Structure 1
Amino acid sequence: MALSIVLTLLSLSRTVASRPWSLLSHQDNIRETYDYIVVGGGTAGLTVADRLSESGRYTVLAVEYGFLTKTDIPGVPNFPTNGYNITSAPQRWLNNRTFPILLGCVVGGSSAVNAQALQRGTTIDYNIWGELSGVRNSHWNFDTIQHYIRKAIQLGGPPHPGIAAAYNISYEPSNYGHNTTKHSIFATYSIRHTPAVIPVYNAIKNYQGVDVPIDGTVGTNGLFWIPRSMDPVTFNRSYSRTGHWDDLNRKNYHLLPGTKVRRVVFKGKAAHGVEITPRLPSVTFKGGQRKITIKARKEIIMAAGAIHTPHILQLSGVGPADLLKKAKIPVVVDLPGVGANLQDHAHHPNIVYNWSSPPPIPATDPTLPPIPPPSSPEFLFGPGLVLLQGLPSLSPTRYKSLSANLSAQSPSMYLPPGTHPTLIAGYAQQQKLYSQAMLRKEFSFSIAAITGSAPTTGPQLMHTFSRGFVSLNLSHPDPFDSPPVVDYRFGSNPLDIDIVVENIKYFRGWYTSPFSQLSRYVDPLSESVPGRQYDTDEKLREWVRNNLWPSVFHPVGTAAKMPRDWGGVVDEELRVYGVKRLSVVDTSVFPTLIGATTSLTVYAVAEKAADLIKARA
């Protein structure tokens, strides 16, 4: 731990010594007032700050708790140096286990430490957001998000023609942007390839219920290849720092890393500024001050992520009034939805078999690019082959009854006791839309990454029915000095665990079903995880309770874009209800999960948010 802190401080000191002048240290002359203050210098925050400052008309300050450390080379995130050290509340329905909450704590946020998968949700994922707007003709839908994805993400490197032919990699170039300037987030297909995946790909392609769309951009699910967020030349990580900060050197765009935003300061109901303090106890602002307030002329924009945005709002007096009163925080506006509606993808250990005899690997064209060495970035994160499936494919005999089960539930049945009536009303709307979506193939409930090296699969649950929360830590004497309480409450709605069980049975069939071309190569008696002894649904449920993780580090929903009387926190324009000059632009605003990794959609939402904010400037 001590070594990690020393290395972080050395990295920070080297960076600040050679920084562009627009990167502030705490000794620099921070302006007293900016037009816009962005709370968070991560995936959403740097995107919005870049777009608001690019015209030169407005001054913008982005404040980031993490340091400016270099994370260009992909690999395992370096926690705690580049990550928050937060542990979940004990998960009652997962045998009271606790889990690390791994979030990027560095300039660039989680885009600096993630696995670089660029996926987008399906048509139904984004159209549900429009349905949850509570208005006709909502401008939040699949087509709008597609438009902003094209603005946010540029196709840097299409698949190599020879590799594409050998591995059946297809893609739709019109669904990407084509701005090849340096300051972009790039979607790139790696030149890494492995012939061992070809027979596995062919077997899955021919398995019952599997569709093969042109790629993952067209609004459906199925079996397809995805690009990574990589520079098309170096194959290093392409993320919000490289795309929206490095080398911009704008006089009107400042970044202040290593700094904690304690709270938003209000004058009446209008957001006036942010109270900030250096992260390191030995550091002070000019004049020796440890705590100062920076003012915003136009707007304060929350972009601290689905865990920290609601926490800062609550510390600022925006949230459930009963919670704030218990914490002795003056109530600015009573918004029960702040911190509620927490959702995340979930995963469990791989389903593991052994090959009885590996499937024959076809010879590939010897003129294809050589497979990169293990030390290279394109080797670490090569092209990704994924399968996304809806319930009609995962559970063809049970999907209708599972949908009916959800539809029959009282909306308050599995929410926390004492849940505010507006939150119950909002969940009722989600429940209605989800029970309908469960009948459709394109509403993904499972994703699995495919490799050809071994008969193992680690599926993830992509939509959940349980709802958790983020809250002030009332057991700590000073909530400002304590991380938030994070409770996923996974499994509080038993349908979550029921569908994970259906997932396991489906992927067992990949390898052992008579309908699978792989069954001839797999010994069904060789299953080591979960293991042959888990031969009933109830036994599998218990295995899930002992082994599942309730998070894939994609938290969403804690400041949801829904009507206020449905428990929403922000309106269609992403403005916080009940106050002025305050908005939210990160995954907090997602009312529901998407059936995909979240970073690509975060960039799109941030691009759209920047347009909304500029339109009201």
Structure 2
Amino acid sequence: MTIADFIIVGAGPAGCALAAGLAKSKRAPQVVLIEAGGSDPSLFSQIPLGLATRVPWRNRENYAFETIPQPGMNNRKGYVPRGRGLGGSSLINAMIYIRGQRQDYDHWAALGCRGWGWADVLPFFKRGETNSRGSDDHHGGDGPLRITDLTAPGAATYAFLEAAKHCGFPLNEDFNGADQEGVGLYQVFQHQGKRFNAAEAYLGTAPYPQNLQVMTNIEVESVVFEQRTAVGVKIRSGGKETVIRARREVILSAGAIGSPHLLQLSGIGPGDALRSHGIDVVYDAPDVGENLQDHVDYAANILSRLDGLVGYTPKALGNIAKAAFEYRKRTGLLTSNVAEAGGFVRSRPEVDRPDLQLHFCIGLVDDHARKMHVATGYALHVCVLRPESRGRVTLSSGRPSSKPLIDPRFFSDERDLDLLVRGARIVHDIVEAPPLAGSASRPLYPIDFTNETQVKQFVREHADTIYHPVGTCRMGGNERSVVDPTLKVRGVDRLRVADASIMPTLISGNTQAPSAMIGEKAAALILDEAV
């Protein structure tokens, strides 16, 4: 197609949900979905445990961005893996199904995002879900997303649950049920022991409906405007530039890093900064790229010989080889999402709801698993659920091929550091409790928790993201917000954003499910306007 009704840029969870919602509607508009990556996920993406090969390094499914040096982290650069290909980050993440807390969405509504309260978004969560446990007041039973329990959680994972219970944390069988608080096994985006990415869920496999064209390995260089009206996108393929025109709308679903970057390349952003890169200003929007939020995380890496752990030892590698035979029946170790369990806990008794999240991983995750050790062990992560620090995504140059500058400004608000230090203490209480304690275990990096100054410095040295950037095209009810509650970009016509970048504040948990919800709700908003 050289012209379509709708052009969607980015095929992550939001973009796939949006494309399917529009293309499969009774009105059957012509939809073009454009993705920079490829169409076929690698074997390492499809096998759940294969994420250990996808996340740590740049590959065909991972942009592997870095932040600029972070003063709050002793001037280290943070690591920002982002998915590339049909399915976006659902190709490489830990497949954890979490919606967040109802208060997160009610807070959005209180900020002026009418129609985004918990009562408004819950029907979209349920509509999108087929839960292996069946449908009820909290879950759906016939949606495109397959949600299931892990096939074969390891013995070490159950040891973590017992240790957490020993420390007074209640067990919770459903983090997306009536109450999020407690520890338990995570439900995952899997089907029959395989990763079930967002493209599989919403688009299925080619051939697609006649009114949906999916274009892969195509770079979108900018949105094309006539005056202040979006009329299409400029793409590059095979060294040639082409313009695809949109009769009705262009919708950016390129994520919290890609969408603000593309807006700025297209002339929507802080005017002086755009002009300094030689970009003509279409609309001076100072908040584009601002409001970046992410879950800053600390991980205790523990050397251990507990059963069910993975690592770079002959025995552990042999176990993975043996698991390949089990995987023919779609069970066993290869079905693990690595982060098999976790939970949501309060840092202090007086806190009204969980403000920390735990992830228990069945292997060492030292520097995002980029530092490898000839040992087995586990990592117990803790992250700040609702950080106060705010960062930004800006241009490094006016060239579309240039990488954006990512500055989360971690710990620029000291409250985040104080909260993560409390989380680190909770984590180390758990790893020192039975049955985790005494299992030939010792920390990879010992720390004296009686020295407050040393603990803070230690956390600064070891903290980083756990991969949930949001907020850079903030939705709101005031003129400074980048998009309004219908996701229309302020100051221009026929342009929307629909992905995690529109979140005004970060939700309390993993972001794949909320991103898909945003895509589904965006489709409904657009179709309702067409009535």
Please tell me the TM-score bracket, short chain as reference. 0.7 to 0.9
Given the superposition, is the C-alpha separation of residues 57 and 200 from structure 1 closer, same or farther in structure 2, using an over 3 Å criterion?
closer
Alpha carbon RMSD of aligned pairs, Å?
2.7
Alignment of 1:47 onto 2:17: yes
5+ residue gaps, structure 1, are 1-30, 159-170, 285-289, 359-370, 397-438
Shift of 1:591: 1.0
Alignment of 1:555 onto 2:525: no
Shift of 1:174: 3.9
* Structure 1 residues 426-575: aligned runs within 5 Å: 439-442=351-354, 444-449=355-360, 457-473=380-396, 476=397, 478-512=398-432, 518=435, 521=438, 527-533=442-448, 535-549=450-464, 551-565=465-479, 567-575=480-488
Shift of 1:519: 8.4
Alignment partners' CA distance in 2, 1:47 and 1:354: 41
| Residue number in structure 2 paired with 1:229 | 189
Shift of 1:445: 2.2
| Residue number in structure 2 paired with 1:583 | 496
Amino acid of the structure 1 residue aligned with 2:38: F
SS in 1 for 2:199: helix
| Residue number in structure 2 paired with 1:342 | 292
Amino acid of the structure 1 residue aligned with 2:2: E
Contact 1:64/1:106 (CA < 8 Å) preserved in 2? Answer: yes
Alignment partners' CA distance in 1, 2:231 and 2:436: 64
Given the superposition, is the C-alpha separation of residues 213 and 332 from structure 1 closer, same or farther in structure 2, using an over 3 Å criterion?
same
* Structure 1 residues 140-155: aligned runs within 5 Å: 140-155=116-131
Higher Cα Rg: structure 1 or 2?
Answer: 1
| Residue number in structure 2 paired with 1:296 | 246
Alignment partners' CA distance in 1, 2:228 and 2:31: 22
Alignment partners' CA distance in 2, 1:536 and 1:299: 57
Given the superposition, is the C-alpha separation of residues 535 and 140 from structure 1 closer, same or farther in structure 2, using an over 3 Å criterion?
same
SS in 2 for 1:103: coil
Alignment partners' CA distance in 2, 1:122 and 1:352: 30
SS in 1 for 2:299: coil
* Structure 1 residues 245-284: aligned runs within 5 Å: 245=203, 246-247=205-206, 249-278=208-237, 283=238
| Residue number in structure 2 paired with 1:21 | none
Given the superposition, is the C-alpha separation of residues 207 and 143 from structure 1 closer, same or farther in structure 2, using an over 3 Å criterion?
farther
Shift of 1:470: 0.4
| Residue number in structure 2 paired with 1:604 | 517
5+ residue gaps, structure 2, are 308-319, 364-375
Contact 2:193/2:335 (CA < 8 Å) preserved in 1? Answer: no
Contact 1:52/1:60 (CA < 8 Å) preserved in 2? Answer: yes
| Residue number in structure 2 paired with 1:176 | 139
Question: What is the percentage of aligned positions where both structures have the same residue?
Answer: 27
Deviations along 1:164-208, whole A, 9 cap, x unmatched? xxxxxxx9744222127xxx2200113213345445423423533
Shift of 1:454: 6.2
Amino acid of the structure 2 residue aligned with 1:470: V
Alignment partners' CA distance in 2, 1:494 and 1:518: 34
Shift of 1:84: 1.2
| Residue number in structure 1 paired with 2:100 | 121
Alignment of 1:374 onto 2:311: no
Amino acid of the structure 1 residue aligned with 2:72: W
Shift of 1:457: 2.0
Alignment of 1:239 onto 2:197: yes
Between structures 1 and 2, the one with greater strand share: 2
Alignment of 1:313 onto 2:263: yes
Given the superposition, is the C-alpha separation of residues 533 and 386 from structure 1 closer, same or farther in structure 2, using an over 3 Å criterion?
closer
Alignment partners' CA distance in 2, 1:198 and 1:236: 22
Contact 2:112/2:478 (CA < 8 Å) preserved in 1? Answer: no
Match among 129, 146, 151 for residue 191 of structure 1: 151
Amino acid of the structure 2 residue aligned with 1:313: L
Alignment partners' CA distance in 1, 2:528 and 2:437: 61
Number of residue pairs aligned between Structure 1 and Structure 2: 488
Shift of 1:213: 4.0
